[in-house]
Chain A
Amino acid sequence: MSAAASPPPPGQRMYHGHGTPAKTEGRLARLFLIGAALTFWALFLLAPLVIVFGSALSEGIEVYLAALADPETLSAIRLTLLASAIAVPVNLLFGLSVAWLISKYDFTGKSLLITLIDLPFSVSPVIVGLMFVLLFGARGWFAPLLEALDTHVIFAVPGIVLATLFITAPLIAREVLAVMQAQGDSEEEAALTMGASGWTIFRRITLPKVKWGVIYGVILCNARAMGEFGGVSVVSGHIRGETNTLPLHVEVLYNEYQFAAAFAVASLLAFLALLTLVLKQFVEWRAHKKLHALSMQDVPAPLSLPPTPGVSS
């Protein structure tokens, strides 16, 4: 899959229907196409979002607030924040390392490595959970070791963190790599000839250059880490107040027919999703502006908007 360019500034290369009729569609055809696209959009994207907030408030604001203030909800919020607070920095470190390695050097096996980095995208989250059960479960490879240490991974917090780490591994790496590759490394090489150490070059030159790619990746990684469901569901064991993340808590409430409460908790996650979309737009806009200000020539847009397969699951 190729890194795609980010959208051009609005208004650029827009077709307004002047010129000869055959160069664009007729007015009626255009209205029909826009209508069809918007109907699909409203049915599939808008309606689910409206339903979440509508159902959350369906039994009144008191029920809504009570669901959010419930100790089990608070414990789920804590666990979700913990999983994300571990997954984001760890994957950031991994992402920076991957991006530096792939954008700065040529070596045999590089394309194989890139495939490996994208691999977690093509593994079903449920299978991710299963793999960790096979490693750390009661009859897993590491069961004797865990027993000796008197600790648990599966049906416990470490398993949730591990599954989240696996599933979110490629997200930051991809974004930072795309930006680092687009920026080139002539400044870094210049700094090297002037005697800067590798660490200084990375901190003072590379990191500021790829800043928006890093932020973009962190936003995507955080959204996915907080929203992960399938993989976490398999390893969590659904122990209430202990190993339920927010999405798992939504499931528990829903299965107990506490619909208003389930949607209330879900509305937190939906709000997080909206916030993610807003931040994403902001970063795309900033990165675009920065790039245009930086260079006169036609530089490839840094922020790839490739479909990041499954920011949420």
Chain B
Amino acid sequence: MLSRRGVLPGFGLSLGYTLLYLGLMVLLPLSALAYRAAGLGFGEFFRIATEHRALLAYELSFGISLLAALTNAAFGLLLAWVLVRYTFPGRKLVDAMIDLPFALPTAVAGIALTALYAPTGFLGEPLARLGIQVAYTPLGIFMALVFTGIPFVVRTVQPVLEELDASVEEAAAILGATRLQTFTRVILPGLVPAALTGFALAFARGVGEYGSVVFISGNMPLKTEIAPLLIVTKLEGYDYAGATVIACVMLGVSFLSLLAINLIQRRLVRPL
């Protein structure tokens, strides 16, 4: 199965170590999950997977992750555009801070967003007066997922935008396109694959996100209970079978959606 090419020594050692580590650290735990799920039998698996409470949790997790990733796509494009194309005071600081959601532990982000959007919070209070409650509602989950997803689209689109050939835009302008036409017909198509990658990453991250969401969501079963929290709840009740089933469904849907995005992307890239 392994036909090697390359003249440098160390193939056996690096292959052996890599496979051993991956096998023990990644594949063994995953197979424990798969084995536990398989042991339940199809009927039992299906019954747990489609419980009312579980269905609502998937709907919440996948639905809000989708909305948050869409928001990230739009504002990620905007941020990347502004950071690459314009100069303004503090641009480097704004750029550096984009990675904050990667660097800030999610538990910290979670309590900070909750404090910000609680009915007595800095932003929560004025919003509450307008009749909008953010913390402890699905809107709060949305806010947390937008926060965790910000860097993905910005960091995938930014390098592509930097590499864009300015002469194409000039050509479009000379041929009489308005700036908006140039953007939507010339620039945007080039950015879509990168934005889609960022969108998919933000979505996948949002689906599995736990730390930044549990504080702001309020964790009410059937209302603001995300799927990862349902896993934790089931584990705390020593319901290993239940936790395993929800985990398998989540992993399955995540992999399928990443696969679908990959396929869409191949279609998008081919004609270029």
Give Cα distance in the complex from A250 to B112, angstroms.
Answer: 11
> Is B46 an interface residue, CB under 8 A from the partner?
no
Say whether, besides A5-B159, A40-B75, A127 and B250 are in contact (CB < 8 Å).
Answer: yes
Inter-subunit contact B105/A45 (CB<8 Å): no
Interchain Cβ contacts under 8 Å between A and B, 6 examples: A40-B75, A44-B143, A45-B101, A49-B104, A51-B115, A101-B18
Asked if A4 and B160 sit within 8 Å, CB to CB, the answer is yes
Is A8 among interface residues, defined by CB-CB distance under 8 A? yes
Q: A48-B113, A162-B25 are in contact. List 14 more A-B contacts (CB 8 A).
A: A7-B159, A15-B86, A45-B147, A45-B150, A49-B100, A94-B17, A104-B14, A128-B29, A134-B36, A227-B107, A277-B100, A281-B96, A306-B156, A307-B151
Give A contacts to B, CB under 8 Å. Answer: 1-2, 4-8, 10, 13-16, 20-26, 29-30, 33-34, 36-38, 40-41, 43-49, 51-52, 55, 93-94, 97-98, 100-101, 104-109, 113, 116-117, 119-135, 137, 139-141, 162, 165-166, 169, 185, 188-189, 192, 197-198, 201-202, 220, 223, 226-230, 233-234, 246-248, 250-251, 254, 259, 262-263, 266, 269-270, 272-274, 276-278, 280-281, 305-313
Query: How many angstroms from the CA of A24 to the CA of B156 in the assembled complex?
Result: 22
B169 touches A23 (CB 8 A): yes
Rounded to whole angstroms, the CA-CA distance of A122 and B201 in the bound complex is 9
Contact B107–A266 (Cβ < 8 Å)? yes
Select A41's contact among B2, B94, B159, B255, beta carbons within 8 Å.
B94
Inter-chain contact A229/B102, CB cutoff 8 Å: no
> Cβ of B116 < 8 Å from any Cβ of A?
yes
Q: Is the CB of B107 within 8 A of A251?
A: yes
A-contact 0/1 string along B172-184, CB 8 Å cutoff: 0100011100100
| Chain A residues with CB below 8 A from B113, complex form | 48
Q: Is there an interface contact between A34 and B147, defined as CB atoms closer than 8 Å?
A: no
Residues of A within 8 A of B156 (CB): 1, 4, 306-307
Does B228 lie at the interface of the complex (its beta carbon under 8 Å from any beta carbon of A)?
yes
Number of A-B contacts (CB under 8 A): 354
- Report the Cα distance A14→B161, complex, angstroms: 11
Chain A at the B interface: mostly helix, strand, loop or mixed? helix
Contact B105 A226 (CB under 8 A): yes
- Judge whether A266 and B26 touch: CB under 8 Å: no
The 10 closest A-B pairs by CB, nearest first: A124-B208, A227-B105, A198-B9, A311-B102, A230-B210, A131-B29, A229-B211, A105-B6, A48-B112, A273-B103
Determine whether the beta carbon of A97 is less than 8 Å from that of B123: no
Q: B interface, by DSSP: helix, strand, loop or mixed?
A: helix
Complex-state Cα separation, A264 to B272, whole angstroms: 52
Contact A20 B173 (CB under 8 A): yes
- A104 in contact with B179 (CB, 8 Å): no
B179–A100 CB distance below 8 A: no
Q: Name B14's closest neighbour in chain A (CB-CB).
A: A101
